[in-house]
Each structure stands twice: as C-alpha cells, then as structure tokens.
C-alpha cells in the first residue's frame, strides 16, 4: 500500500490531465460550497448532535446513535479538523472537499484504465464531479461524499486486481477490501463495492473452490469486521442499538404512492441531459456484449461494468432519495464514456454538453425541480 502511494505521488506530476483535473476539482469543491451556500440544518444537525455525544459522553433525550454507528470515521475526522479550526462548519467543509477531490481522482484513474483515453477520462470525471448529487449533497453538511469516495476507490483497486496476473494481483484484492472496511465506517455506500470484489474472486479463481473460500473469508473480514465491531459498540453503549434498527425505521418512514415514478423522477434529475450520452454508450455496451458471447472470449471491461451494474441494484434496498441513487452514477458515466470515446473530437463536441449539464446541476434545487415537479 505504501509502495503504491509512493509510485502514485511520484507519477502524479507527469500526468498533465491529472494535474489539471486536481486543480479543477479543488475549484469545483469550493465553488459548490460558495454558490450553493449549504447550511447546517435538517439531517446535518443529527451529525452535530452525534459529535457532541462523542465529545462529552452525554446523550440527549431521544438521541438516536445511527450517525455514530454508520458515520463514525467521518465524525471523528471532523472532530480532528475542529481541533485546529475550532469551527465545525469549516472543518466539515475541508473534509468534504478532500473527499470530493479524492473521489474525482480515483474515478479518473479507473476510467482512464477502462476507456484508455486521457481526454475521455477527463471529461467523464467532470460529469461525475458536476453531477447534481455531487454538488448538492456531496458538498452539503452530510457524510455521503465520503462513502462515495471509498466506493469508487474500491472499484479502482478491484479493477487493478482484474488486470493483474497470478497471485501478485492479490494485493489489489485485499487493498480493495480494506478500503471497503474503512469506508464502511464513513458511510454504508462503501459496502456496495463488495459485490464487485466477490464477483471478481469467482471469475479469477473459478473452480478452485479452496482459493475462492479463503479469499472470500479474508476479504469479508477486511470489509465487514470494522462495521461489525461498531455494531457491537453501539449495542453495548446505546441500549442494544444496531444497524437493523435503523434499516427497519427507514422502511417504515419512507412511503411512496408510486415507487417506479419516484425512481424515474430522481434519475431524471440526477443525470439530466447526460442520459443522451448514456443511450449511445449503452448501445455500444450491448454490441460488445454480443461480440463477447459470439467469440466466446471474456471482455474484462464488460465483465467489470456488468458487476458494477449488478452492485447498483442495491439502491432498491434504500429509500428513493436522489443522493442514494448517486451510487449508480459511476457506472452510468463509465457507459456514457464508451460513447464519448467514439466521438472524433470529444473536447470540442462534449464540452458544450458538459457545461449545460453542470449548469442544470447547480440550478436544479433553486429553479428546475420546482418548475418541472410532477403532481404525482
């Protein structure tokens, strides 16, 4: 892991697109925070209350420890930054900005390996960074951005495992699993990445059941032990509270007249005009899938994309909330990038689309949703 970080840092300056992207992401992080002017209110207050409980050990009346259980690492990092800033809002903004930039850089590294094109990877990353959920919820006073960042980081390391040959690639598998374990202490989105890890274990070790068994055991320990320990902690400390309590609470709290319509409305807002690029990419995906079956030759990129699609179905377990649906955006943008790659001059053609897409994302809450909101 340390060797990988050293190589990544030393090669960072040699990649012009990555350097430019880094500064663009930093700008977008602070631009989003300034323009959207998020407040510590609503669900954000639950996090603040949880920080107070962690600091003082004193529980409020009717205090629900869910935020401590599911976002413990994020809360602790805010407390760490707050030691230097003495301002919860600034500490939170710094942490969210770090996670926002980290998410973008890992997605760029992943997309570059899949599409093998610097320009397309750069543009695709900006579609992720200026996504409605990224700017409206990722940079808000919430913890979602950290879960997304760890999810995408795990995808990157899983892809490195898929690319590798022999047992030398196992390090990527275990790093990916450890990232899930750490990310699970930040926000539960990170656990979705284990679907890909499990699928790749089966693919890389097919019919070697002993290897499959032990790799599943080790990766599960790395990915889920930290969260299991947190559940034990809250069970003992907070009147037998576990994640199951929160999950059942959500199932009873969120009710919908028409769940499919809610999905359509939420997906429509989260990727807006980007869906036109997705349709082109999905057509290319189907063609490559057909070729794979006809030639009876595994296309590793298509396999990887298929596993991410499979993992995305986890959104059905959660309420139909736009920020929850963001977990599907990495694969949506990867598929869209397959189409962008076919365009002769992607920067010239796609940049105007990206600008409109970004503007719509920033205006979504203030103007667009109220204007187009359907009465059902």
Which pLDDT score, from 0 to 100, does residue 43 have?
87
Which pLDDT score, from 0 to 100, does residue 376 have?
42
Distance from C-alpha of 151 to C-alpha of 196, rounded to nearest angstrom:
11
Hey, what are 42's tokens? 């609503």
Closest C-alpha among 324, 328, 298, 325 to residue 311: 328
Closest C-alpha among 318, 312, 298, 324 to residue 196: 312
Checking if the pLDDT of 316 tops 90, the result is no
Q: Say if residues 360 and 273 touch (Cβ distance below 8 Å).
A: yes
Closest C-alpha among 339, 360, 288 to residue 123: 339
Cα–Cα distance list, 194 to 100, 151, 181, 200, 308 (Å)? 21, 9, 10, 10, 10
Cα–Cα distance list, 234 to 185, 202, 247, 255, 357 (Å)? 13, 34, 15, 27, 42
H-type helices in 164-258, by residue range?
170-183, 194-204, 209-237, 243-253
Closest C-alpha among 95, 108, 84, 98 to residue 16: 108
Q: What is the mean pLDDT of the chain?
A: 90
DSSP state of 244: H
Distance from C-alpha of 216 to C-alpha of 222, rounded to nearest angstrom:
10
DSSP state of 254: -
Give just the sign of the alpha carbon dihedral 194, 198, 199, 203. Answer: positive
pLDDT digits (tens, 9 = 90+) for 113-169: 999 999 999 999 999 999 999 999 999 999 999 999 999 999 999 999 999 988 888
Q: Where are the domains of the chain?
A: 17-368
CB atoms within 10 A of CB 211: 15
Closest C-alpha among 247, 374, 265 to residue 325: 265
Distance from C-alpha of 167 to C-alpha of 72, rounded to nearest angstrom:
34
Cα–Cα distance list, 3 to 6, 12, 172 (Å)? 5, 14, 12
Write the DSSP assignment of 40-63 as a string of letters.
S-THHHHHHHHHHHHHH-PPPTT-
3 state SS of 94: helix
pLDDT digits (tens, 9 = 90+) for 330-366: 999 999 999 999 999 999 999 999 999 999 999 988 7
CB atoms within 10 A of CB 168: 8
How far is the first Cα of the chain from the last one, in angstroms, to the nearest whole number? 50
Kindly report the three-state secondary structure assignment for every residue of 7-43.
HHHHHHCCCHHHHHHHHHHHHHHHHHHHHHCCCCCCH
Which pLDDT score, from 0 to 100, does residue 157 have?
98
Beta-strand (E) ranges in 324-366? none
DSSP state of 163: H
Rg for the chain, CA atoms, rounded:
21
Q: Is the full-model pTM beyond 0.85?
A: yes
Checking if the pLDDT of 373 tops 80, the result is no
Which pLDDT score, from 0 to 100, does residue 8 have?
59
pLDDT digits (tens, 9 = 90+) for 202-237: 999 988 999 999 999 999 999 999 999 999 999 999
More confident of the two residues 253 and 208:
208
């Amino acid at each position: 892991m340390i060797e990988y970080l050293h190589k990544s840092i030393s090669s960072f300056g040699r990649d012009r697109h990555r350097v430019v992207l880094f500064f663009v992401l930093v700008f977008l992080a602070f631009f989003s925070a300034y323009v959207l002017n998020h407040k510590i209110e609503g669900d954000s207050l639950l996090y603040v209350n949880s920080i107070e409980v962690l600091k003082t050990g004193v529980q409020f009346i009717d205090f629900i420890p869910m935020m401590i259980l599911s976002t413990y690492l994020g809360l602790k990092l805010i407390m760490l930054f707050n030691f230097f800033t003495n301002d919860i809002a600034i500490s939170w903004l710094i942490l969210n900005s770090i996670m926002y930039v980290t998410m973008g850089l890992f997605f760029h590294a992943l997309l570059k390996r899949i599409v093998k094109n610097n320009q397309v990877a750069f543009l695709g990353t900006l579609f992720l960074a200026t996504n409605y959920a990224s700017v409206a919820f990722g940079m808000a006073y919430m913890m979602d951005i950290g879960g997304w960042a760890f999810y995408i980081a795990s995808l990157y390391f899983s892809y490195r495992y898929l690319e590798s040959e022999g047992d030398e690639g196992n390090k990527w598998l275990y790093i990916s699993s450890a990232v899930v374990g750490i990310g699970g202490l930040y926000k539960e989105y990170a656990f979705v990445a284990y679907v890909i890890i499990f699928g790749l274990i089966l693919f890389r070790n097919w019919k070697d059941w002993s290897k499959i068994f032990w790799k599943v055991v080790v990766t599960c320990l790395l990915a889920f032990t930290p969260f299991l320990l947190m559940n034990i902690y809250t069970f003992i400390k907070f009147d037998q509270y576990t994640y199951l309590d929160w999950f059942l609470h959500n199932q009873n709290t969120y009710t919908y007249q028409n769940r499919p319509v809610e999905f359509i409305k939420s997906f429509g807002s989260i990727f807006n005009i980007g869906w036109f690029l997705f349709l082109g990419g999905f057509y290319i995906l189907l063609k490559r899938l057909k070729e794979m079956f006809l030639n009876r030759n595994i296309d590793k990129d298509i396999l990887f994309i298929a596993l991410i699609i499979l993992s995305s179905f986890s959104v059905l377990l959660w309420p139909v909330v736009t920020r929850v649906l963001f977990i599907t955006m990495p694969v949506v943008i990867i598929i869209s990038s397959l189409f962008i790659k076919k365009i002769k001059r992607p920067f010239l053609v796609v940049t105007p689309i990206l600008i409109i897409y970004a503007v719509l994302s920033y205006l979504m809450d203030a103007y667009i949703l109220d204007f187009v909101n359907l009465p059902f």
